[in-house]
Amino acid sequence: MRVWASRLLVTVMGVGLLAALAACGAEEPTATPQPAATPTPAEAMMEEPTPQPAEAMTDEPTPEAMTEEPTPEAMMEAPTPTPRPAPTATPTPPPGFDAAEYFRGKTVRIVANSSPGGGTDTQGRVMAAFMSDHIPGNPRVVFTNQPNKPLEYIYSATEAPKDGTYISWNSSPQLNFGFNESTRFIKRSTFEPLGSTIDPTRAWLVYDVVGNLGEAAADKCIWEFSGMSGTGGGRHDQFLLADELSDIADGNPTLLAHVYAAEQLDLPFRYFGFDTVDTNALFLMWARGDVNSTIQPSFWHRFPFEHPDWLQTGFMRMMGGFGPGQVKPNVLGEPPCGDVRDHFSEEQKHIFNSMTGPSSYALKALWMPPGTPDHIADALSSAFEEALTTNEELIEKYSNVAGESPAWVGRDDLKAATIYNEGLLEGSQALIDEQKARLLPKYFAEYISG
């Protein structure tokens, strides 16, 4: 469940790889920005699957971007957790600390735990191109990738420098890593958050609706297929979705929530496992006919810019919101379908929220290694906030690749949200484990057997 303070519901096998991470050096300097713009209110936060392969981190040039629409806050119902104390006040920086002098001449590395080319990667590169001019002392800022999420999490928690030169850029908080032996039970709340940028609310979208599902599906919402053995025709006559093998093996709570929802609605659906399911992989899967649907937090907002005719012509259709908040309008107008939870019983809603909330409360967030001094994290958080709320060129470019304006949620709010949702996840663990034990053998037997 999401938590916000100021319209925020107060509500991670590797070891070391220091050499591998350090080898990611051949970076390039970032672009010079232009200032000025009205900030978008801080409102929203989420999650995405964990890729399987462990790959070396690679440096790539920071791309240009493309205009958009702000996202207001998203809210959802959740199980009642045990309240957690609010974080204590930030200590005063050491006497004489000069952020500009401290960062001058340093190289700050922003590491995306995703493959090059996807949404998280692209948004991060756009952002990184502007950050040298906003961080005091104008250090060199480079952007690299480490797509093995658990590996990057462990490295960041145990070996990454705690001097402000290493920042994790993550699609989601991955709170579940804090409860796994493979990630050493290192809690996300021990990291130092800088802030997050995007509303995590998800929507079920279908590609080539009529071609894949039949003419009868052209104007329906997902729950209208409840109890049906097929969708009415097309090449597939059912909803076909993909998720990453590592998510399936781990029983990722967000994946479980989606499968649970489709099951409870009694939809004609099937899931397939792939090594990587990022934006580029999905486009290829759609083109090949491997799958036809996705449950994503940003496509509803991005596609009016990236593929303006898809939604306008009905080639792609949004068929329902999947939390944790309510789907907001995009530049084309209101979503055609409401929220899936409106079609659940109270018990179903409670189970769904218990799985999707804690894993999806923040999207596109920046984290520093545990033990990073507060005054260093504070200085960097302020720099990112300034860039993402006042730099007009950055806001425009980020909006064009994200499909929505950055909605900055600051350090204190993200820290409080993390503590709260970690407690909520822990309180829901028995329920999640129960659904994992039931759903994985039922729908993913070929991927988890042996």
Report CA dihedral (408, 413, 414, 415) to the nearest 10 degrees. Answer: 150
Tell me what pLDDT residue 72 has. 33
SS3 of 296-337: ECCHHHHHHHHCHHHHHHCCEEEEEECCCCCCCCECCECCCC
Q: Pick the closest to residue 257 from 31, 25, 436 (CA basis).
A: 436
Tell me what pLDDT residue 42 has. 32
Q: Say which residues have a Cβ less than 8 Å from residue 329's Cβ, sequence separation at least 6.
A: 69, 335
| Per-residue pLDDT band at 324 (split at 50, 70, 90) | confident
| Per-residue pLDDT band at 20 (split at 50, 70, 90) | very low
Rounded Cα distance, 239 and 291, in Å: 8
Classified as helix, coil or strand, 112 is strand
| Per-residue pLDDT band at 91 (split at 50, 70, 90) | low
Classified as helix, coil or strand, 61 is coil
Classified as helix, coil or strand, 240 is strand
Q: What is the pTM of this model?
A: 0.62
pLDDT digits (tens, 9 = 90+) for 147-165: 999 999 999 999 999 999 9
Average of per-residue pLDDT across 288-314: 90
| Per-residue pLDDT band at 450 (split at 50, 70, 90) | low
Q: Sheet with 316-321: list strands edge to edge.
A: 293-296, 203-207, 316-321
- For the record, the structure tokens of 396 come out as 């425009």
Tell me what pLDDT residue 61 has. 39
**25-34, 105-114, 238-247, 426-435: which range is least confident on average?**
25-34
Pairing mode, if any, of strands 203-207 and 293-296?
Answer: antiparallel
- Calculate the alpha carbon distances from 258 to 129, 149, 214, 325, 366 in Å: 35, 21, 23, 15, 26
- Residue ranges covered by each domain of the chain: 18-200+360-425, 203-358+430-448
CATH 3.40.190.10 fits 18-200+360-425, yes or no: no
Rounded Cα distance, 445 and 450, in Å: 9
Is the pLDDT higher at 168 or at 85? 168
Rounded Cα distance, 445 and 410, in Å: 41
Pairing mode, if any, of strands 363-368 and 239-244?
Answer: unpaired
Tell me what pLDDT residue 117 has. 85
Average of per-residue pLDDT across 244-272: 94
Classified as helix, coil or strand, 28 is coil
